[in-house]
Structure 1
Amino acid sequence: MAYLKELKVTFTRKRVDDDLLNKPVDSPEQVYALFKDMQNETKEKVVVLHLNPQLEVLSYELAAIGTGTQALIDPVELYRNAMLARAHSLIVVHNHPSGNPKASPADLDMAKRLLDVGKLLGMELQDFIIIGDDTYTSLRQDKVF
């Protein structure tokens, strides 16, 4: 006898202010308001927001927890889970425990890889946001892409 794996996708909830949901995510400030508590983390964390065609948040995923200086992100994993959530596009958010939200060369390289994969899949990367101490950096806002 053999076994067949069953895929189960489950969702949990995060309490947020009513005014942050059910409207399009049209600025990095909105994303920062949702996840600014990441600035207090001692390890790098990567969160992916799954968006519908109207750019409203469908769900989010804690995609990676790393060390104090880096987190391993696999574009295939990010996009696979976004597809399971039936996302149209996504936003990647991660923190820098150092407090400095300036994009590192590794951040820029990962953002480019995610952009390329997103173009192939037809699932656009809307933004790549880095959270630091009481501030953030948006690669879209900074015209990196």
Structure 2
Amino acid sequence: VAELAKVKGLGTAKAATILAALELGKRIAAAGSQVKLKIESPQKGAEILLPRLRYEQHEKFLVLLLDSKNQVIRMEQVSEGSVNSSVVHPREVFAPALLYHAAAILVAHNHPSGDPRPSQEDKELTRSLNETGIIMGIPLIDHLVIGDGIFFSFREQGYLDK
């Protein structure tokens, strides 16, 4: 608010109103319609997640809980980190999956830099989540890294079994 209020002609109240409107727009875009969204491809997952994560200034890690038809049951944020990292553990990722009886999950996080290329830590986390999902019977269908209008799919790049 303070940064926006520095613009000539904008006071604190107007800056707060603008930021509130932007947040409302993000939430509406992320919510979509009441029809259950179906994840048929990494592209479809990215369409759902890009509006929510693209402009975040800190890394956020989300899990999409899916039913047996890969329809989204719920979206949960499991971690928020700094501008270049976020601490995530499989227990936080799979806890909501158990709570809401998900048949599968898709996870995603953003890179505030805009570059969706995965780090070594991203690759290790994906391997760990995939192994945990196999053991628990809740498969990881993909891990998407969201950048500035582009994304990286671990499934498309061959990091996850088809």
Q: TM-score, normalised by structure 2?
A: 0.77
CA distance in 1, matches of 2:45, 2:133: 20
CA distance in 2, matches of 1:36, 1:96: 11
Structure-2 residue corresponding to 1:5 = none
Q: Structure 2, unaligned stretches of length 5 or more?
A: 1-26
Structure-1 residue corresponding to 2:93 = 78
Corresponding residue pairs, total: 131
Find the structure with the greater CA-based Rg.
2
Deviations 1:40-96 (A, max 9, x none): 111000010000011000001011000001000010121122100110110001000
**More helix per residue: 1 or 2?**
2
Trace 1:92-111 onto structure 2 (pairs within 5 A).
Answer: 92-111=107-126
Is the Cα–Cα contact under 8 Å of residues 36 and 73 in structure 2 kept in the other structure? no
Q: Secondary structure at the match of 2:58?
A: coil
Identity within the alignment, %: 27
Trace 1:124-143 onto structure 2 (pairs within 5 A).
Answer: 124-143=139-158
Is the Cα–Cα contact under 8 Å of residues 117 and 145 in structure 2 kept in the other structure? yes
Kindly state the Cα deviation for residue 98 of structure 1 after the two structures are TM-superposed.
0.8
Q: TM-score, normalised by structure 1?
A: 0.85
Kindly state the Cα deviation for residue 128 of structure 1 after the two structures are TM-superposed.
0.2
Q: Which of 93, 118, 133 does residue 133 from structure 2 map onto?
A: 118
Q: Structure 1, unaligned stretches of length 5 or more?
A: 1-13
